[in-house]
Structure 1
Amino acid sequence: MRILRQSPTSHLVVACGSSGARLSAELGSGGHAVSYVAAGLVSLESVRSDATEIRDRLDSGELPPLRGFVGNAGMQYTNGLTETPDSLESTFAVNVLANHLFVRPLQDRFTAPARIVITASDTRFGDFRHNLGMVPGPVWHSPDVLARTGAFTGRTPRPPGAPRTRRANWPPSVSCTSTRAARPAGIDAVAYNPGFVPGTDLARNAD
Protein backbone atom coordinates (compact mmCIF):
# COMPACT_ATOMS: atom_id res chain seq x y z
CA MET A 1 0.00 0.00 0.00
CA ARG A 2 2.80 2.39 0.89
CA ILE A 3 4.72 1.67 -2.32
CA LEU A 4 1.67 2.41 -4.43
CA ARG A 5 0.82 5.49 -2.40
CA GLN A 6 4.31 6.95 -2.76
CA SER A 7 4.77 5.86 -6.37
CA PRO A 8 1.30 5.55 -7.92
CA THR A 9 2.65 4.83 -11.41
CA SER A 10 4.54 1.74 -10.22
CA HIS A 11 3.56 -1.72 -11.42
CA LEU A 12 3.56 -3.87 -8.28
CA VAL A 13 4.05 -7.63 -8.61
CA VAL A 14 2.82 -9.56 -5.57
CA ALA A 15 4.58 -12.91 -5.28
CA CYS A 16 3.13 -14.98 -2.45
CA GLY A 17 0.85 -17.87 -1.59
CA SER A 18 -2.87 -18.36 -2.06
CA SER A 19 -3.75 -15.08 -0.31
CA GLY A 20 -1.90 -13.19 -3.05
CA ALA A 21 -4.81 -13.20 -5.48
CA ARG A 22 -7.11 -11.50 -2.97
CA LEU A 23 -4.37 -9.09 -1.88
CA SER A 24 -3.57 -8.14 -5.47
CA ALA A 25 -7.23 -7.43 -6.17
CA GLU A 26 -7.46 -5.20 -3.10
CA LEU A 27 -4.28 -3.30 -3.96
CA GLY A 28 -5.35 -2.83 -7.57
CA SER A 29 -8.87 -1.69 -6.74
CA GLY A 30 -7.83 1.96 -6.79
CA GLY A 31 -6.73 1.79 -10.39
CA HIS A 32 -3.14 0.80 -9.62
CA ALA A 33 -1.24 -1.68 -11.80
CA VAL A 34 -0.88 -4.83 -9.70
CA SER A 35 -0.01 -8.35 -10.86
CA TYR A 36 0.07 -11.63 -8.97
CA VAL A 37 2.50 -14.52 -9.17
CA ALA A 38 1.65 -17.61 -7.12
CA ALA A 39 4.94 -18.13 -5.30
CA GLY A 40 5.84 -21.12 -3.15
CA LEU A 41 9.01 -20.53 -1.16
CA VAL A 42 9.35 -23.91 0.55
CA SER A 43 10.39 -25.71 -2.64
CA LEU A 44 13.55 -24.39 -4.28
CA GLU A 45 12.29 -25.58 -7.66
CA SER A 46 9.16 -23.47 -7.17
CA VAL A 47 11.26 -20.42 -6.20
CA ARG A 48 13.33 -20.73 -9.37
CA SER A 49 10.19 -21.20 -11.47
CA ASP A 50 8.47 -18.15 -9.99
CA ALA A 51 11.54 -15.95 -10.46
CA THR A 52 11.91 -17.20 -14.04
CA GLU A 53 8.26 -16.33 -14.74
CA ILE A 54 8.85 -12.76 -13.60
CA ARG A 55 12.07 -12.56 -15.63
CA ASP A 56 10.26 -13.78 -18.76
CA ARG A 57 7.50 -11.24 -18.28
CA LEU A 58 10.12 -8.51 -17.92
CA ASP A 59 11.84 -9.66 -21.12
CA SER A 60 8.57 -9.74 -23.05
CA GLY A 61 7.70 -6.19 -22.00
CA GLU A 62 4.61 -7.34 -20.09
CA LEU A 63 6.19 -5.81 -16.99
CA PRO A 64 8.02 -2.47 -16.94
CA PRO A 65 11.74 -2.23 -15.97
CA LEU A 66 12.51 -3.81 -12.62
CA ARG A 67 13.53 -1.26 -10.01
CA GLY A 68 12.89 -2.99 -6.71
CA PHE A 69 12.53 -6.24 -4.82
CA VAL A 70 11.14 -6.65 -1.31
CA GLY A 71 11.67 -10.04 0.32
CA ASN A 72 9.40 -10.12 3.34
CA ALA A 73 8.49 -13.80 3.72
CA GLY A 74 9.63 -15.51 6.90
CA MET A 75 8.90 -18.60 8.95
CA GLN A 76 10.22 -20.24 12.10
CA TYR A 77 10.23 -23.92 13.03
CA THR A 78 11.75 -24.03 16.49
CA ASN A 79 12.32 -27.79 16.48
CA GLY A 80 15.02 -27.41 13.83
CA LEU A 81 13.91 -30.73 12.34
CA THR A 82 11.28 -29.73 9.78
CA GLU A 83 12.45 -30.46 6.23
CA THR A 84 11.50 -29.04 2.87
CA PRO A 85 10.93 -31.27 -0.18
CA ASP A 86 14.62 -30.62 -0.94
CA SER A 87 15.64 -32.17 2.43
CA LEU A 88 16.73 -28.79 3.81
CA GLU A 89 15.86 -27.28 7.18
CA SER A 90 12.70 -25.29 6.50
CA THR A 91 13.43 -22.06 8.39
CA PHE A 92 16.80 -21.58 6.71
CA ALA A 93 15.48 -22.64 3.30
CA VAL A 94 12.67 -20.08 3.28
CA ASN A 95 14.30 -17.18 5.13
CA VAL A 96 17.69 -17.30 3.44
CA LEU A 97 17.92 -19.58 0.41
CA ALA A 98 14.57 -18.59 -1.08
CA ASN A 99 15.48 -14.90 -1.03
CA HIS A 100 18.81 -15.61 -2.68
CA LEU A 101 17.33 -17.88 -5.35
CA PHE A 102 14.54 -15.42 -6.10
CA VAL A 103 16.88 -12.48 -6.64
CA ARG A 104 19.66 -14.30 -8.47
CA PRO A 105 17.81 -14.92 -11.79
CA LEU A 106 16.64 -11.29 -11.72
CA GLN A 107 19.86 -9.52 -10.74
CA ASP A 108 20.80 -8.62 -14.32
CA ARG A 109 17.24 -7.46 -15.02
CA PHE A 110 17.30 -4.61 -12.50
CA THR A 111 17.34 -1.14 -14.04
CA ALA A 112 19.40 1.31 -12.00
CA PRO A 113 18.68 3.05 -9.76
CA ALA A 114 17.10 0.09 -8.00
CA ARG A 115 16.85 -1.34 -4.50
CA ILE A 116 16.69 -4.79 -2.94
CA VAL A 117 15.18 -4.93 0.55
CA ILE A 118 15.30 -8.11 2.64
CA THR A 119 13.59 -8.35 6.03
CA ALA A 120 16.02 -9.19 8.84
CA SER A 121 15.56 -9.57 12.60
CA ASP A 122 16.55 -8.26 16.04
CA THR A 123 17.62 -11.78 17.01
CA ARG A 124 21.08 -11.13 15.60
CA PHE A 125 21.87 -9.04 18.71
CA GLY A 126 21.26 -11.88 21.14
CA ASP A 127 20.39 -9.68 24.11
CA PHE A 128 17.26 -9.13 26.19
CA ARG A 129 16.72 -5.61 24.92
CA HIS A 130 16.24 -6.78 21.37
CA ASN A 131 14.55 -10.19 21.69
CA LEU A 132 13.10 -10.25 25.23
CA GLY A 133 15.20 -13.31 26.08
CA MET A 134 13.23 -15.53 23.71
CA VAL A 135 16.13 -16.30 21.35
CA PRO A 136 19.75 -16.98 22.34
CA GLY A 137 22.56 -15.05 20.73
CA PRO A 138 23.82 -16.19 17.33
CA VAL A 139 26.69 -18.66 17.24
CA TRP A 140 28.36 -18.89 13.88
CA HIS A 141 27.76 -22.05 11.84
CA SER A 142 28.47 -22.30 8.14
CA PRO A 143 25.44 -22.24 5.81
CA ASP A 144 25.90 -25.90 4.84
CA VAL A 145 25.39 -26.80 8.52
CA LEU A 146 22.42 -24.48 9.00
CA ALA A 147 20.77 -25.90 5.90
CA ARG A 148 20.55 -29.39 7.42
CA THR A 149 18.16 -30.48 10.15
CA GLY A 150 19.68 -31.28 13.55
CA ALA A 151 23.16 -30.77 12.16
CA PHE A 152 25.09 -28.60 14.59
CA THR A 153 28.69 -29.78 14.34
CA GLY A 154 30.06 -31.24 17.55
CA ARG A 155 26.68 -31.27 19.29
CA THR A 156 23.91 -33.75 19.89
CA PRO A 157 21.17 -33.84 17.21
CA ARG A 158 18.84 -31.77 19.36
CA PRO A 159 20.91 -29.67 21.80
CA PRO A 160 18.96 -27.30 24.08
CA GLY A 161 18.39 -24.01 22.33
CA ALA A 162 19.94 -25.13 19.03
CA PRO A 163 16.83 -24.46 16.91
CA ARG A 164 16.56 -20.95 18.34
CA THR A 165 20.28 -20.39 17.82
CA ARG A 166 19.70 -21.42 14.23
CA ARG A 167 16.93 -18.83 14.10
CA ALA A 168 19.33 -16.17 15.38
CA ASN A 169 21.88 -17.06 12.73
CA TRP A 170 19.76 -16.37 9.67
CA PRO A 171 19.47 -12.54 9.88
CA PRO A 172 23.22 -12.03 9.23
CA SER A 173 22.93 -14.55 6.41
CA VAL A 174 20.07 -12.53 4.96
CA SER A 175 22.26 -9.44 5.03
CA CYS A 176 25.02 -11.27 3.20
CA THR A 177 22.51 -12.60 0.69
CA SER A 178 21.14 -9.20 -0.20
CA THR A 179 24.61 -7.66 -0.37
CA ARG A 180 25.93 -10.36 -2.69
CA ALA A 181 22.88 -10.08 -4.92
CA ALA A 182 23.41 -6.34 -5.28
CA ARG A 183 26.85 -6.40 -6.89
CA PRO A 184 25.74 -4.76 -10.17
CA ALA A 185 26.36 -1.00 -10.05
CA GLY A 186 23.42 1.18 -9.13
CA ILE A 187 21.57 -1.38 -7.03
CA ASP A 188 21.23 -0.68 -3.31
CA ALA A 189 20.87 -3.60 -0.89
CA VAL A 190 19.12 -3.06 2.41
CA ALA A 191 18.53 -5.53 5.25
CA TYR A 192 15.48 -4.03 6.96
CA ASN A 193 14.84 -4.82 10.62
CA PRO A 194 11.18 -4.17 11.58
CA GLY A 195 11.78 -4.74 15.29
CA PHE A 196 9.49 -6.83 17.51
CA VAL A 197 6.43 -7.83 15.48
CA PRO A 198 3.76 -9.52 17.64
CA GLY A 199 0.57 -10.64 15.96
CA THR A 200 2.27 -11.98 12.82
CA ASP A 201 1.94 -15.64 13.88
CA LEU A 202 5.68 -16.06 13.27
CA ALA A 203 6.10 -18.04 16.48
CA ARG A 204 3.11 -20.34 15.98
CA ASN A 205 5.42 -23.38 16.10
CA ALA A 206 7.17 -22.27 19.28
CA ASP A 207 6.68 -23.91 22.67
Structure 2
Amino acid sequence: MGTTLMTGASRGLGRHAAEHLLRHHPDCHLLVFNRRAGLAAELAAATGNPNVSEVICDLASFGDIRRAAAEVDRPLDGFLGNAALQMATTRKLTADGVEMTFGVNVLAYHLLLNLLRPRFTNPARIIVVGSDVHDSAHNSMGLIPPPRWDDPRELAKPGEGTAKAGRRAYATSKLGVVYLVHALRRRLPDGVDVYSYNPGLVPDTELSRDAGRLGRAVFRAVGRALVALPVATTAVRAGRLLAETMAGPRPGDSGSYISRGEVIPSSPESYDERREEELWTAATALTGLSRTPHRSA
Protein backbone atom coordinates (compact mmCIF):
# COMPACT_ATOMS: atom_id res chain seq x y z
CA MET A 1 0.00 0.00 0.00
CA GLY A 2 1.43 3.38 -1.02
CA THR A 3 1.22 6.44 1.22
CA THR A 4 0.45 10.01 0.20
CA LEU A 5 1.18 12.79 2.68
CA MET A 6 -1.18 15.73 2.36
CA THR A 7 -1.40 19.20 3.89
CA GLY A 8 -4.49 21.40 3.76
CA ALA A 9 -7.01 18.55 3.88
CA SER A 10 -9.37 20.01 6.47
CA ARG A 11 -11.47 22.37 4.35
CA GLY A 12 -12.28 23.64 0.88
CA LEU A 13 -10.89 21.97 -2.20
CA GLY A 14 -8.32 20.13 -0.07
CA ARG A 15 -11.06 18.43 1.94
CA HIS A 16 -12.80 17.35 -1.25
CA ALA A 17 -9.51 16.12 -2.71
CA ALA A 18 -8.77 14.09 0.41
CA GLU A 19 -12.21 12.51 0.45
CA HIS A 20 -12.00 11.74 -3.27
CA LEU A 21 -8.64 10.00 -2.81
CA LEU A 22 -10.01 7.89 0.03
CA ARG A 23 -13.21 6.96 -1.82
CA HIS A 24 -11.74 6.24 -5.24
CA HIS A 25 -8.23 5.04 -4.37
CA PRO A 26 -8.85 2.85 -1.31
CA ASP A 27 -5.47 1.10 -1.59
CA CYS A 28 -3.67 4.40 -0.97
CA HIS A 29 -2.98 5.34 2.63
CA LEU A 30 -3.52 9.06 3.26
CA LEU A 31 -1.35 10.69 5.93
CA VAL A 32 -2.61 14.19 6.75
CA PHE A 33 -0.62 16.96 8.39
CA ASN A 34 -3.03 19.24 10.22
CA ARG A 35 -2.98 21.78 13.06
CA ARG A 36 -5.72 20.04 15.04
CA ALA A 37 -6.34 16.46 16.05
CA GLY A 38 -9.32 14.49 14.77
CA LEU A 39 -9.14 15.13 11.03
CA ALA A 40 -8.18 11.54 10.21
CA ALA A 41 -11.20 10.23 12.11
CA GLU A 42 -13.46 12.70 10.30
CA LEU A 43 -12.16 11.65 6.90
CA ALA A 44 -12.48 7.95 7.73
CA ALA A 45 -16.07 8.45 8.91
CA ALA A 46 -17.02 10.53 5.87
CA THR A 47 -15.58 8.08 3.33
CA GLY A 48 -15.82 4.73 5.06
CA ASN A 49 -12.12 4.20 4.40
CA PRO A 50 -9.95 3.64 7.50
CA ASN A 51 -6.69 4.03 5.54
CA VAL A 52 -6.00 7.51 6.87
CA SER A 53 -3.80 8.74 9.72
CA GLU A 54 -2.58 12.09 10.95
CA VAL A 55 0.36 13.99 12.35
CA ILE A 56 -0.26 17.29 14.09
CA CYS A 57 1.76 20.05 12.43
CA ASP A 58 1.73 23.83 12.39
CA LEU A 59 3.31 24.97 9.12
CA ALA A 60 3.93 28.38 10.68
CA SER A 61 6.65 26.90 12.90
CA PHE A 62 9.91 25.44 11.59
CA GLY A 63 10.35 23.57 14.86
CA ASP A 64 6.93 21.97 14.54
CA ILE A 65 7.64 21.01 10.93
CA ARG A 66 10.85 19.31 12.00
CA ARG A 67 9.11 17.45 14.80
CA ALA A 68 6.25 16.35 12.51
CA ALA A 69 8.58 15.24 9.70
CA ALA A 70 10.49 13.12 12.20
CA GLU A 71 7.23 11.34 13.08
CA VAL A 72 6.75 10.11 9.50
CA ASP A 73 7.82 6.49 9.81
CA ARG A 74 6.72 5.06 6.47
CA PRO A 75 7.83 5.36 2.83
CA LEU A 76 6.00 7.98 0.77
CA ASP A 77 5.09 7.65 -2.89
CA GLY A 78 3.03 10.84 -2.91
CA PHE A 79 3.00 14.35 -1.46
CA LEU A 80 0.16 16.84 -1.93
CA GLY A 81 0.92 20.27 -0.51
CA ASN A 82 -2.36 22.14 -0.52
CA ALA A 83 -2.20 24.24 2.66
CA ALA A 84 -1.67 27.96 2.01
CA LEU A 85 -2.50 31.31 3.56
CA GLN A 86 -3.65 34.66 2.24
CA MET A 87 -3.23 37.26 4.96
CA ALA A 88 -4.94 40.62 5.34
CA THR A 89 -1.57 42.36 5.71
CA THR A 90 2.14 41.53 5.62
CA ARG A 91 2.61 42.35 9.30
CA LYS A 92 1.84 38.94 10.79
CA LEU A 93 4.80 36.70 11.58
CA THR A 94 5.41 32.99 11.95
CA ALA A 95 6.83 31.50 15.13
CA ASP A 96 10.27 32.10 13.60
CA GLY A 97 9.73 35.79 12.85
CA VAL A 98 9.09 35.35 9.12
CA GLU A 99 6.32 37.15 7.24
CA MET A 100 3.43 34.70 7.50
CA THR A 101 2.44 34.31 3.82
CA PHE A 102 5.98 33.73 2.58
CA GLY A 103 6.79 31.60 5.61
CA VAL A 104 3.90 29.16 5.18
CA ASN A 105 3.39 29.17 1.41
CA VAL A 106 7.06 28.92 0.43
CA LEU A 107 9.53 28.30 3.25
CA ALA A 108 7.45 25.65 5.03
CA TYR A 109 7.32 23.53 1.87
CA HIS A 110 11.03 23.98 1.23
CA LEU A 111 11.78 22.72 4.72
CA LEU A 112 9.22 19.93 4.77
CA LEU A 113 10.08 18.49 1.36
CA ASN A 114 13.79 18.54 2.10
CA LEU A 115 13.27 16.79 5.42
CA LEU A 116 11.06 14.18 3.76
CA ARG A 117 13.31 13.51 0.77
CA PRO A 118 14.77 10.32 2.29
CA ARG A 119 11.21 8.98 2.67
CA PHE A 120 10.23 9.22 -0.99
CA THR A 121 10.16 5.97 -2.90
CA ASN A 122 10.94 5.67 -6.58
CA PRO A 123 8.62 6.26 -8.32
CA ALA A 124 6.93 9.06 -6.37
CA ARG A 125 4.88 12.14 -7.19
CA ILE A 126 5.04 15.51 -5.45
CA ILE A 127 2.48 18.25 -6.07
CA VAL A 128 2.53 21.71 -4.50
CA VAL A 129 -0.57 23.78 -5.12
CA GLY A 130 0.14 27.15 -6.70
CA SER A 131 -2.13 29.63 -8.42
CA ASP A 132 -2.55 31.46 -11.70
CA VAL A 133 -2.08 34.70 -9.75
CA HIS A 134 1.67 33.99 -9.95
CA ASP A 135 1.40 35.40 -13.49
CA SER A 136 1.58 39.19 -13.74
CA ALA A 137 -0.51 39.01 -16.90
CA HIS A 138 -3.36 37.28 -15.09
CA ASN A 139 -6.14 39.72 -14.28
CA SER A 140 -7.40 37.83 -11.20
CA MET A 141 -10.74 39.56 -11.72
CA GLY A 142 -9.07 42.59 -10.16
CA LEU A 143 -8.97 40.86 -6.77
CA ILE A 144 -5.25 40.11 -6.45
CA PRO A 145 -2.42 42.51 -7.39
CA PRO A 146 0.37 41.01 -9.53
CA PRO A 147 3.40 39.50 -7.80
CA ARG A 148 6.43 41.62 -6.99
CA TRP A 149 9.53 39.47 -6.63
CA ASP A 150 12.43 40.58 -4.44
CA ASP A 151 15.42 39.14 -2.64
CA PRO A 152 13.90 36.22 -0.67
CA ARG A 153 15.41 37.57 2.54
CA GLU A 154 13.42 40.76 1.99
CA LEU A 155 10.24 38.81 1.24
CA ALA A 156 10.71 37.05 4.57
CA LYS A 157 10.51 40.37 6.46
CA PRO A 158 7.24 41.96 7.63
CA GLY A 159 5.94 44.72 5.39
CA GLU A 160 2.95 46.99 4.97
CA GLY A 161 -0.21 46.76 7.00
CA THR A 162 -2.56 47.05 4.03
CA ALA A 163 -4.91 44.51 2.48
CA LYS A 164 -3.39 45.15 -0.94
CA ALA A 165 0.05 44.26 0.41
CA GLY A 166 -1.35 41.06 1.87
CA ARG A 167 -2.92 40.02 -1.41
CA ARG A 168 0.23 40.89 -3.35
CA ALA A 169 2.29 38.79 -0.94
CA TYR A 170 0.00 35.86 -1.75
CA ALA A 171 0.59 36.26 -5.50
CA THR A 172 4.34 36.61 -4.91
CA SER A 173 4.39 33.48 -2.77
CA LYS A 174 2.75 31.50 -5.55
CA LEU A 175 5.48 32.65 -7.93
CA GLY A 176 7.89 31.37 -5.28
CA VAL A 177 6.16 27.98 -5.36
CA VAL A 178 6.91 27.63 -9.08
CA TYR A 179 10.53 28.63 -8.48
CA LEU A 180 10.88 26.04 -5.72
CA VAL A 181 9.38 23.31 -7.88
CA HIS A 182 11.82 24.08 -10.71
CA ALA A 183 14.77 24.09 -8.31
CA LEU A 184 13.65 20.86 -6.63
CA ARG A 185 13.22 19.12 -9.99
CA ARG A 186 16.95 19.59 -10.65
CA ARG A 187 17.75 17.88 -7.35
CA LEU A 188 15.43 14.88 -7.47
CA PRO A 189 16.34 11.55 -9.07
CA ASP A 190 14.58 10.32 -12.19
CA GLY A 191 11.30 8.74 -11.17
CA VAL A 192 10.53 11.22 -8.39
CA ASP A 193 8.43 13.86 -10.11
CA VAL A 194 7.46 17.27 -8.78
CA TYR A 195 4.78 19.63 -10.11
CA SER A 196 3.15 22.94 -9.31
CA TYR A 197 -0.61 22.84 -9.67
CA ASN A 198 -3.10 25.63 -10.36
CA PRO A 199 -6.67 24.72 -9.34
CA GLY A 200 -8.05 27.87 -10.96
CA LEU A 201 -10.31 30.40 -9.32
CA VAL A 202 -12.17 28.60 -6.52
CA PRO A 203 -14.32 31.23 -4.77
CA ASP A 204 -16.09 28.89 -2.35
CA THR A 205 -13.07 28.34 -0.10
CA GLU A 206 -11.94 29.93 3.15
CA LEU A 207 -8.78 31.45 1.70
CA SER A 208 -9.95 34.92 2.80
CA ARG A 209 -10.53 33.88 6.42
CA ASP A 210 -7.95 36.40 7.70
CA ALA A 211 -9.74 39.31 6.00
CA GLY A 212 -12.14 40.07 8.88
CA ARG A 213 -15.91 39.72 8.97
CA LEU A 214 -16.63 42.37 6.32
CA GLY A 215 -13.89 41.17 3.98
CA ARG A 216 -15.07 37.56 4.24
CA ALA A 217 -18.67 38.61 3.55
CA VAL A 218 -17.62 40.54 0.45
CA PHE A 219 -15.49 37.66 -0.81
CA ARG A 220 -18.36 35.20 -0.30
CA ALA A 221 -20.80 37.46 -2.16
CA VAL A 222 -18.40 37.93 -5.07
CA GLY A 223 -17.62 34.23 -5.02
CA ARG A 224 -21.25 33.21 -5.41
CA ALA A 225 -21.45 35.33 -8.55
CA LEU A 226 -18.13 34.12 -9.96
CA VAL A 227 -18.89 30.41 -9.62
CA ALA A 228 -21.43 30.75 -12.40
CA LEU A 229 -18.75 32.05 -14.80
CA PRO A 230 -16.38 29.91 -16.94
CA VAL A 231 -13.33 31.43 -15.21
CA ALA A 232 -14.26 29.89 -11.85
CA THR A 233 -14.99 26.46 -10.46
CA THR A 234 -16.34 24.94 -7.27
CA ALA A 235 -14.30 23.41 -4.49
CA VAL A 236 -15.88 20.03 -5.22
CA ARG A 237 -14.82 20.03 -8.88
CA ALA A 238 -11.40 21.48 -8.12
CA GLY A 239 -10.76 18.94 -5.38
CA ARG A 240 -11.77 16.03 -7.58
CA LEU A 241 -9.46 17.15 -10.39
CA LEU A 242 -6.57 17.75 -7.99
CA ALA A 243 -7.00 14.26 -6.51
CA GLU A 244 -6.99 12.63 -9.92
CA THR A 245 -3.88 14.57 -10.92
CA MET A 246 -2.26 13.21 -7.77
CA ALA A 247 -3.35 9.59 -8.19
CA GLY A 248 -3.97 9.21 -11.93
CA PRO A 249 -1.59 8.68 -14.86
CA ARG A 250 1.67 10.63 -14.92
CA PRO A 251 0.55 14.14 -15.88
CA GLY A 252 3.73 15.26 -17.65
CA ASP A 253 7.44 15.85 -17.29
CA SER A 254 8.74 16.59 -13.83
CA GLY A 255 8.77 20.31 -13.10
CA SER A 256 5.67 20.98 -15.19
CA TYR A 257 3.00 23.50 -14.30
CA ILE A 258 -0.42 21.87 -14.30
CA SER A 259 -3.47 24.10 -14.60
CA ARG A 260 -6.79 22.42 -13.83
CA GLY A 261 -5.43 19.05 -14.88
CA GLU A 262 -3.65 20.23 -18.05
CA VAL A 263 0.08 20.82 -18.46
CA ILE A 264 0.64 24.37 -19.72
CA PRO A 265 3.53 26.86 -19.53
CA SER A 266 3.67 28.91 -16.37
CA SER A 267 4.31 32.64 -16.64
CA PRO A 268 7.39 33.85 -18.54
CA GLU A 269 8.65 35.37 -15.29
CA SER A 270 8.56 31.95 -13.61
CA TYR A 271 11.36 30.57 -15.81
CA ASP A 272 14.35 32.22 -14.18
CA GLU A 273 17.02 29.82 -12.97
CA ARG A 274 18.95 32.60 -11.23
CA ARG A 275 15.93 33.45 -9.08
CA GLU A 276 15.18 29.78 -8.50
CA GLU A 277 18.67 29.09 -7.16
CA GLU A 278 18.69 32.33 -5.18
CA LEU A 279 15.45 31.27 -3.51
CA TRP A 280 16.76 27.76 -2.84
CA THR A 281 19.90 29.11 -1.18
CA ALA A 282 18.03 31.70 0.89
CA ALA A 283 15.29 29.25 1.91
CA THR A 284 17.89 26.72 2.99
CA ALA A 285 19.49 29.33 5.25
CA LEU A 286 16.23 30.80 6.55
CA THR A 287 14.82 27.40 7.53
CA GLY A 288 18.04 26.22 9.15
CA LEU A 289 18.60 23.41 6.66
CA SER A 290 22.15 24.62 6.11
CA ARG A 291 22.82 23.53 9.70
CA THR A 292 20.99 20.18 9.39
CA PRO A 293 23.25 17.12 9.08
CA HIS A 294 22.67 15.15 5.89
CA ARG A 295 20.50 12.09 6.37
CA SER A 296 20.82 9.29 3.82
CA ALA A 297 17.82 7.41 2.49
Q: So what's the TM-score if we normalise by structure 2?
A: 0.59
Aligned position for 2:136: 126
Change (3 A) 1:199 1:31: closer
> Residue 65 of structure 2 is aligned with which of 20, 43, 47?
47
2:90–2:162: 8 Å Cα contact kept in structure 1? no
RMSD, aligned CA: 2.1
Q: In structure 1, list runs of 5 or more residues that go unmatched.
A: 59-64, 151-156
1:35-74 correspondence runs (5 A): 35-54=53-72, 57-58=73-74, 65-74=75-84
- List, as ranges, runs of 4+ consecutive aligned residues in structure 1 with deviation greater than 4 Å: 157-160
Q: Secondary structure at the match of 1:101?
A: helix
Aligned to 1:32: 50
Letter in 1 for 2:44: G
**Conservation of the 8 A alpha-carbon contact between 1:100 and 1:177:** yes
Amino acid at match of 1:188: D
Q: Which residue of 2 aligns with 1:203?
A: 208
Query: What's the CA shift string for 1:44-63, capped at 9, x where partnerless?
Result: 11011111111xx12xxxxx
The reply to whether residue 168 of structure 1 matches residue 178 of structure 2 is no
CA drift at 1:185: 2.2
Match of 1:81 in 2: 91
Q: Is the 8 A contact 1:103 1:181 kept in 2?
A: no
Does the Cα contact within 8 Å between 2:26 and 2:49 map onto a contact in 1? no
Check conservation: 1:107, 1:184, Cα contact below 8 A. no
Task: From the superposition, tell whether residues 81 and 9 of structure 1 become closer, same or farther in structure 2 (CA, over 3 Å).
Answer: same
2:55 alignment partner, SS class: strand
**Code of the aligned partner of 1:97:** L
In 2: Cα distance, 1:15 partner to 1:171 partner: 20
Match for 1:136 among 121, 137, 145? Answer: 145
Question: What amino acid is the match of 2:146?
Answer: G
Identity, % of aligned pairs? Answer: 39
TM superposition score normalised by structure 1: 0.83
State how far apart, in whole Å, the 2-side matches of 1:7 and 1:14 are.
15
Selected match of 1:92 from 75, 85, 102:
102
Report the Cα offset of residue 100 of structure 1: 1.4
Secondary structure at the counterpart of residue 118 of structure 2: coil
Once residues 141 and 35 of structure 2 are traced to their aligned partners in structure 1, the CA distance between those partners, rounded to angstroms, is: 30
Shift of 1:163: 3.2
Counterpart secondary structure, 1:177: helix
> Any unmatched runs of 5+ in structure 2?
1-18, 216-297
